[in-house]
Structure 1
């Protein structure tokens, strides 16, 4: 490595450090405070007293909320990846029409989730647009506030699939064209080019997108609160309701719920990093 390269690397590391240190400090202080509050060492009322009561008092409800949140996030992530990859493949295969699809997809990203949740609610509710269009006043399924969180998952999948598509396009659009042309000259069909050329190239961006979408949907509050049933409560809904409860003692349980959400998110991020490292080692 030359002196100029070392200097450039040092500047890049310094700039990254200046950006990372404040984030790590804020997150570290927040998690430390939440941990102390969850075990009674930083109570909202009363003297500090070490206790695991917030962790053990409603273990069953906490497990139900965790399973519900993981279910919503996992299904939403899978649907987002499938739809997003299909959108990206279509844009790459059909450049002219693909530009329109890409523009429409990009236009959905700035829309806040609370507005998207309202639109999905108007579309899928018992007296919504889809029920009126199909003419099923008595047989329309309970998609909003139903037991399977269908409307919640639909909102996340709709919003995040556009994000996945743009990430995939941004990462492989420059290199995939020549490789697909080479595969076509060797007799590969369109489906074979997508499966054997586009998909392997898109694996890193799909892994990163999956981690981002999963973590975001796991901690997102608006859609689950507006479109989901009252029970079981996903982790973010449970945390907010406990924190805003008139019972100040319940805030310790809110911190426990938030910490569980952080732990699940951290596990998913680590898994995504391992997938990326394994993919690089196999190349």
Structure 2
């Protein structure tokens, strides 16, 4: 056994105490959702293996919801990566500790609180409309509008703080020494950014972007509060069906939830493949 293999096994053993409970909780929840969506654990009636819940879904609603979910996740994740990476580089280059503290303080704020705050700011009768003196009916429909602006901005704001913290952690150990070495060899600021900082930050950007994308796909509260009533993202559709007073809709809700998990899992697999590619390029 070489030293690298031994180090990998030690790292895996250190992760196990946190990994096992997470896998058990997520596995139990996902397993229960799959079983109920297949009719094996009904709230009413006899258990019977069936795909009726999936066949009962309105295909147009599911496909439209899938498109909306992916579009919101892609837009908010892209904006979060841009803002978070920029903030991390600024902190690393200028040593502005206050900006890092702000990013760390934003991470634990619940999305529900952030959504309520953004709604109060960007609604047609919100604080921003009052500050600019917009007349009734003239302020852009940012909340509940056709382009999901408020939803994307709230998700990007929250996830950009997460991206900044992850990227800062990845740059904290080696970036300064390599940057100083490159400067000593005559590299300018833009060359050091392109040749040193961005390659070092690339794995952290891939990881944080993948996590953010998967989270946004499965998150419902922000789109539920700030988005349109139709079309609905998959997570909002699942929540609406789950909270329906008709208990026979529960299997359909869990079927949509399973599809949402499949989309998020696909994003995680794609992110893992991209991470391996980035590691090879480095």
Give the CA deviation at 1:279: 2.1
CA pair 112-25 structure 1, distance change in 2 beyond 3 A: closer
Report the Cα distance in structure 2 between the residues aligned to 1:206 and 1:166, rounded to whole angstroms: 11
Q: How many matched pairs?
A: 279
Residue 92 of structure 1 is matched in structure 2 by: 92
Note if 1:27 corresponds to 2:13. no
Note if 1:119 corresponds to 2:117. yes
Report the Cα distance in structure 2 between the residues aligned to 1:174 and 1:220, rounded to whole angstroms: 33
Deviations 1:61-115 (A, max 9, x none): 11111111111111111100000000011111211xx212112222212221111
**Which shifted more, 209-218 or 77-86?**
209-218
Q: Structure 1 regions of 5+ residues with no counterpart?
A: none
Report the Cα distance in structure 2 between the residues aligned to 1:12 and 1:183, rounded to whole angstroms: 31
Give the CA deviation at 1:278: 1.7
Report the Cα distance in structure 2 between the residues aligned to 1:105 and 1:20, rounded to whole angstroms: 26
Paired residue secondary structure (2:174): helix
Report the Cα distance in structure 1 between the residues aligned to 2:230 and 2:157, rounded to whole angstroms: 24
Note if 1:236 corresponds to 2:250. no
**Which shifted more, 133-142 or 60-69?**
133-142
Paired residue secondary structure (2:173): helix
Residue 132 of structure 2 is matched in structure 1 by: 134
Paired residue secondary structure (1:174): coil
Residue 256 of structure 2 is matched in structure 1 by: 257
The TM-score, its normalising length taken from structure 2, stands at 0.91
Note if 1:203 corresponds to 2:202. yes
Q: Structure 2 regions of 5+ residues with no counterpart?
A: none
Deviations 1:244-282 (A, max 9, x none): 111111111111111111101111111111112122223
Residue 276 of structure 2 is matched in structure 1 by: 277
- Superposition RMSD in Å: 2.1
Paired residue secondary structure (2:20): helix
CA pair 13-131 structure 1, distance change in 2 beyond 3 A: closer
Report the Cα distance in structure 2 between the residues aligned to 1:164 and 1:130, rounded to whole angstroms: 27
CA pair 46-26 structure 1, distance change in 2 beyond 3 A: same
Residue 45 of structure 2 is matched in structure 1 by: 46
Report the Cα distance in structure 2 between the residues aligned to 1:9 and 1:84, rounded to whole angstroms: 29
Report the Cα distance in structure 1 between the residues aligned to 2:239 and 2:150, rounded to whole angstroms: 20
CA pair 13-94 structure 1, distance change in 2 beyond 3 A: closer
Residue 159 of structure 1 is matched in structure 2 by: 158
Q: Is the Cα contact below 8 Å between 2:66 and 2:233 reproduced in 1?
A: yes
Give the CA deviation at 1:13: 4.4
Note if 1:105 corresponds to 2:103. yes
Note if 1:36 corresponds to 2:35. yes
Deviations 1:207-252 (A, max 9, x none): 1101111111111222111111111111222111111111111111
The TM-score, its normalising length taken from structure 1, stands at 0.91
CA pair 249-127 structure 1, distance change in 2 beyond 3 A: same
